[in-house]
């Protein structure tokens, strides 16, 4: 009997060690990219993607926002974009594009993602007489064409502002700059979770500067915080969190050492940080 008990104890210990060493599965670092046309965020059903330093967007949604007509010729796998001044013709599986009959060559053929034809937004919009600018600080493509009005059906009402993104990216930078991306995303989600909780203020800014019963994020109260430039990974983590990518459930607290007073609220450890409900 004693022998059986010893075996069981050993098995339990091994299970315990194994459970503590289970890996935390990494989140794919995919920067959410926004598109603005004449200061309006554009509604899309397929997310823009960044490939080889080129942003690809679902063609029809951008064309509609620019009041252009899109014609699909299924037999020849050909796409035609028409507006008042330009006719752009492209064929799937081909790098060759015709703009008013003049031939150009793309980096690669238009990819198809989730049954949507994706096109390089800079090439398409510049050839439709638009000004285009890439904003690294917000991962946004900004398009301007003053002679058109974006239809209301094309406008996306985003739930956060660029100020929210900038502040969140800055607090992630100062709190988690030297740890892994998953921990950065988790820290960003603590702030987002607090904004949604009745226990904390209801804006990103007020959560970050909250003093409550104590100063919640001490680095935010230093003079240097206002001039802090967020790291690229912190911007991506902040934007992913603001767009709903969550790896810590509803946790509201984190620390680089265990909270003895909150051991019953412990959720998980990511990198060097402990996360709690």
pLDDT digits (tens, 9 = 90+) for 213-247: 778 899 999 999 999 999 999 999 999 999 999 99
pLDDT at 180 over 60: yes
b or e along 8-41 (b: 16 or more beta carbons within 10 Å of the residue's beta carbon)? eeeeeeeeeeeeeeeeeeebeeeebbbbbbbebb
Q: Say what the pTM is.
A: 0.84
Beta pairing partners, 89: 80, 98
124-147: average pLDDT:
95
pLDDT at 16 over 90: no
2-9: average pLDDT:
44
C-alpha angle 216-222-227 in degrees, rounded to nearest 5: 120
pLDDT at 6 over 50: no
Q: How far apart are CA 250 and CA 43, in angstroms?
A: 28
Percent of all residues in the chain with a pLDDT value above 70, rounded to a whole number: 91
Q: How far apart are CA 63 and CA 270, in angstroms?
A: 42
205-214: average pLDDT:
89
The answer for residues whose C-beta is within 8 angstroms of residue 236's C-beta and 6 or more apart is: 29, 31, 139, 181
Nearest to 121 by CA among 87, 131, 112: 131
As a whole number, the mean pLDDT across the chain is 89
Q: How far apart are CA 176 and CA 197, in angstroms?
A: 22
Under 8 Å between Cβ of 141 and 134: yes
Q: Pairing state of beta strands 34-37 and 140-144? A: parallel
Token readout for 105 is 């060559």
Place of tokens 């198809």: 112
Output the pLDDT for position 9: 42
pLDDT at 5 over 60: no
Helix (H, G, I), strand (E, B) or coil at 82: strand
All domains of the chain, ordered by start, with CATH? 34-154 (3.30.457.10), 162-276 (1.10.10.2520)
Token readout for 67 is 């009041």
The answer for residues whose C-beta is within 8 angstroms of residue 264's C-beta and 6 or more apart is: none
Place of tokens 């265990």: 258
Output the pLDDT for position 260: 87
Nearest to 185 by CA among 231, 152, 233: 233
CB atoms within 10 A of CB 216: 20
Q: How far apart are CA 117 and CA 97, in angstroms?
A: 14
Helix (H, G, I), strand (E, B) or coil at 195: helix
Output the pLDDT for position 25: 57
Beta pairing partners, 116: 113
Output the pLDDT for position 265: 94
pLDDT band at 19 (very low <50, low <70, confident <90, very high): very low
pLDDT band at 52 (very low <50, low <70, confident <90, very high): confident
Helix (H, G, I), strand (E, B) or coil at 118: strand
């Amino acid at each position: 009997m004693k022998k059986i008990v010893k075996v069981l104890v050993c098995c339990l210990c091994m299970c315990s060690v194994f459970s503590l060493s289970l890996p935390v599965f990494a989140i794919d670092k995919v920067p959410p990219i926004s598109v603005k046309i004449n200061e309006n965020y554009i509604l899309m059903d397929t997310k823009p993607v960044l490939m080889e330093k080129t942003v690809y967007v679902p063609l029809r949604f951008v064309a509609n926002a620019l009041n252009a007509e899109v014609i699909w010729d299924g037999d020849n796998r050909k796409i035609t974009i028409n507006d008042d001044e330009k006719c752009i013709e492209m064929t799937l599986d081909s790098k060759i594009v015709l703009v008013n009959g003049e031939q150009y060559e793309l980096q690669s053929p238009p990819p198809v993602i989730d049954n949507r034809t994706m096109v390089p937004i800079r090439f398409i919009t510049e050839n439709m007489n638009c000004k285009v600018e890439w904003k690294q600080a917000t991962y946004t493509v900004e398009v301007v064409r003053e002679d058109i009005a974006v239809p209301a059906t094309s406008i996306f009402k985003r739930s956060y502002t660029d100020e929210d993104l900038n502040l969140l990216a800055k607090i992630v930078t100062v709190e988690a700059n030297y740890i892994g991306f998953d921990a950065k995303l988790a820290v960003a989600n603590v702030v987002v979770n607090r904004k949604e909780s009745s226990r904390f203020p209801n804006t990103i800014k007020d959560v970050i500067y909250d003093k409550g019963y104590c100063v919640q994020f001490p680095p935010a109260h230093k003079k240097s915080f206002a001039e802090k430039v967020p790291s690229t990974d912190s911007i991506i983590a902040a934007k992913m969190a603001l767009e709903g990518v969550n790896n810590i459930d509803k946790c509201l607290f984190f620390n680089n050492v265990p909270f003895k007073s909150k051991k019953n609220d412990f959720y998980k450890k990511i990198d060097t940080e402990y996360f709690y409900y």
